[in-house]
Amino acid sequence: MALKITQYYYAPPEQFSNSSLYLTWAGQRECDSHFSIGPRMTDSATMIFVANGQGYVEFGNSREPIPLTKGDMVTIFPKMRYHYYTNPEDPWEIIWVSFKGTHAVSYIQDIGITPSNCVIRSVLSHSVHRTLMIIINTLGDPDDGPRLAATGSLYMLFAYLREHIDKTQRISENLRQDVAVMKATHFIEENYQLDLDVEMLCHHVNYSRSYLSRLFKAETGMTIPEYISTIRVARAKHLLTESQIPMREVAASVGINDPFYFSKIFKKHTGISPSEYRAENQAAEEPQNLQDNPPLRN
């Protein structure tokens, strides 16, 4: 069974050869298990999209393959040594566009793609795929006019790619921020008995004091010292209810060495002193204890 391939080449009229951007080659093909291009270099920039299947790309003298799967894209810069090939166990179908121009590399970099960051994951959306098909079909027109108009669709492709990259970066940053706050709250909950401060926490999550403080307040609704105090008071409540250890030990057990300061913080959070809280809650448990363990009768 013959594998499908559609591709068109284009050399613009001489008066357009110094344009800022123009297409030179575009196509789509189903690949067999032996498909391989390179190692080689070209004068054009090429964007390769994986429509189906899997494959790999290698750059320079590196023999470390970068895996590509359905929806991914790789950009090959001019004069960049490359080698790309299919996974023989899951041969891929690829779509590509090649282009040149005095500003071709600048346009790629404006999108957010660089030689060291040239693989974009999960980018082949419906809009991107439709635009690629328009480019291929238009480039196949025998007249120069429609072929030059295909460059307009290439700009549209760049816009979709930039939108995807910006969105991915925002999601990535939001996730990174969520993880940082999660790490901070977990560190506090596991180490509240230590002499915690904001600087210790910033060092743990590798954020500046001002940035982490602002991020923490936005995510939790509390400042870092407020959250530390909340956790300490919660742990102190448990100790006051479940044990008879002295108040000084309760304070030290939750990371506060000054019992007077502990009493002040506790009362600020609960409205009563630690001693009052212990008396109220231990007294409330006595009737239940009597019910669970009724006195012996002679």
Q: Could you tell me the residue ranges of all domains in the chain?
A: 5-170, 192-286
Nearest to 55 by CA among 40, 71, 70, 68: 68
Q: How far apart are CA 32 and CA 89, in angstroms?
A: 10
Over the stretch 166-176, which tens digit does the pLDDT of each residue have? 888 777 777 77
Task: Indicate the CATH number for domain 5-170.
Answer: 2.60.120.280
Residues in the chain: 298
Confidence of residue 177 (pLDDT cuts 50, 70, 90): confident
Q: How far apart are CA 103 and CA 155, in angstroms?
A: 12
**What's the pLDDT at 287?**
53
Q: Are strands 22-30 and 5-9 parallel, antiparallel or unpaired?
A: antiparallel
pTM of the model: 0.64
Helix (H, G, I), strand (E, B) or coil at 27: strand
Over the stretch 197-254, which tens digit does the pLDDT of each residue have? 888 888 888 888 898 998 899 889 999 999 999 999 999 999 999 999 999 999 999 9
Which residue is associated with the tokens 């980018």? 123
**What's the pLDDT at 222?**
92
Helix (H, G, I), strand (E, B) or coil at 47: strand
**What's the pLDDT at 174?**
76
Q: Are strands 73-76 and 82-86 parallel, antiparallel or unpaired?
A: unpaired
CATH superfamily for domain 192-286 = Homeodomain-like (1.10.10.60)
Q: What are phi and psi of 41, to 5 degrees?
A: -130, 150
**What's the pLDDT at 154?**
96
Q: How far apart are CA 135 and CA 98, in angstroms?
A: 11
Confidence of residue 146 (pLDDT cuts 50, 70, 90): confident
**What's the pLDDT at 228?**
94
Residue 138 · residue 146 · CB < 8 Å: yes
> Is the confidence at residue 17, as pLDDT, over 80?
no
Q: How far apart are CA 95 and CA 74, in angstroms?
A: 11
Which residue is associated with the tokens 């006051």? 240
C-alpha triplet 158, 163, 165: angle, nearest 5°: 95
CA distance between the termini of the chain:
97
